Amino acid sequence: MNHQRRSVLKLGTALGLAVSAGFLTPMQAWAVQQQWNEKAFGATDVDSVVASLGGEGAVESDQITLIAPDIAENGAVVPVGVNSALPNTTEIAILVPDNPSTLTALFKIPEGSLPEVATRIKMGQTSDVYGLVKADGKYYMVHKEVKVTLGGCGG
């Protein structure tokens, strides 16, 4: 086989592997980094998180159901669910103020989706866990204390 054909085949294989390995192009990766709310994820208290999401404080609401254990057996895997009965809920977030970074996860609820999400989070120590909801452009929240016996941030 001549050398040119060999190099073309080699390059093609490498590019094919890169695409199939699922790496974004540098442009796409940059776009994701820009969208990710660095300020919100860097905040260390509830009010700062709400402010960096564009809110003016969050009002307590009994229309939000926070599903979380009273005592977490394992701080590395704490199941948390947030269900909102507030009309026009567009965002749901989980906040843990006593974690190194207060904002754990932020969900956008498009039209047609239910304002109910569940996931599992790490908690470094006993802390209040907040279910934060954006509905009709305003922020609402509910919280409960989750006791942690074995911290989940590791190290």
Q: Binding string, 34-53, against another protein, x = CB under 8 A?
A: -xxx--xx------------
β-bridge pairing 64-67 and 78-84: antiparallel
84 near another protein (CB under 8 A): no
Question: With 0-12 CB in 10 A as exposed, 13-18 as middle and 19+ as buried, what is 101?
Answer: middle
90 near another protein (CB under 8 A): no
* Residue whose CB is less far from another protein, 11 or 24: 24
For the residues of 61-101, what is the DSSP string, one character each?
-TTEEEE--SEES-TTSEEEEEEE-STTEEEEEEE-TTSSS
64 near another protein (CB under 8 A): no
CB of 132 to another protein, least distance (A): 13
Please state, in angstroms and as integers, the Cα–Cα distance from residue 126 to each residue in 40, 86, 88, 147, following that order.
22, 28, 32, 4
Residue among 50, 68, 96, 142 that touches another protein (CB under 8 A) = 96
- Residue numbers of the site for another protein (CB under 8 A)? 21-24, 26, 28-29, 32-33, 35-37, 40-41, 76-79, 81, 96, 99-101, 103-110, 112-114, 116-123, 152-155
